[in-house]
Amino acid sequence: DLHSFPTRRSSDLWQISTVLSTMHFIEACDIKVNLTLRVLAKRADGYHEIHSLFWRIRSPETMKISISTEDRISVFGAEIPGENILSRVCCYLRSRYPDVPLPPLDIELFKHIPMGSGVGAGSGNAAALLRWFRRNFRREAAPSGELARLGADVAFLASDYALALADGVGEILHGIDELLSLSAVFFFPEWSTDTGEAYRSIDRFRLLSEGKYDTINAAEARRESLDILKRLQKHTRVGLLPNDFNLALSSKRACYDSAYDLFDSAGAVAWGLCGSGSACFALFERASGGVQNLMESLSRKSTDTFPWLHKTMVLR
């Protein structure tokens, strides 16, 4: 029992590390759904303030962590260009906790979610590694502002919240001690979305609208989130969920509209865009049969109806 070690002396940490070296760990990864997402004022540093209602869902992605002689990250099911976020997490942990002898790690990551889909899957991988570290080396969570620098959704997915209101750039979290009992169906298109370009698209739209588009303020956005949460908890039909990134979908709007129509006809409680895109999702009462209706309806559609649909996923 790793938690039987009574102190954090260096000898105890060495003993913990020694025990870990004989084991391997399977860690589950989570994703997040933005039940609301409002893009507020643009800051002097170029980032935008947001308000969002985050909901955590367990994803099919997992990672196997073992102690090794050198850091090694193997990814199965996807190709990740550039530096893997898990490498940044390892560097961060060794810098943030120099008193902890974090040994070299052999990490096997099993991916199932397409990149650039807006559900924070990469942040969920990072958060799983952070939680593993906290649990086995008995360290408190770092400030959310630090974690947000690792990835936009890391602070939330590394927290213990199932639901949270998020402000700032997503790192200011207000946990909600309630649960949401719904099933989610995700449609992953054949394209991905670049988050920076999505924000620039919103800026261009608002500039060209010459003030005709009214930006919601933070207080209004919070009231909106709490109202939608209350309705979803009662399984009251909401329809299209508010997400300002819908403004950036002009070239793909027909595709999303066809998905939303299908969600509507299948009896979904709510539906919308995942974060800044590119995936979209629908929420169903678990006992309603709506998920089955949706999948049966989708199977009857010709490939010409949804030629852009790369993958579907049901998470309960």
Answer yes or no: are the C-beta atoms of 244 and 212 closer than 8 Å.
no
Q: How many CA atoms lie within 13 A of 91 on its CB side?
A: 8
Catalytic annotation, residues: 32, 153
Exposure string for 147-177, b = 16+ CB within 10 A, e = fewer = bbebbbbbbbbbbebbbbbbbbbbbbbeebe
SS3 249: coil
Secondary structure of 41-88 as H, E, C letters = EECCCCCEEEEEEEEEEEEEEEEEEEECCCCEEEEECCCCCCCCHHHH
The CA distance from 315 to 285, in Å, is: 12
| Residue 210 region by backbone torsions, left for phi larger than 0, else alpha for psi between -120 and 50, else beta | left
The token duo for 74 is 């193997």
Q: What are the φ/ψ torsions at residue 38 (nearest 5 degrees)?
A: -115, 130
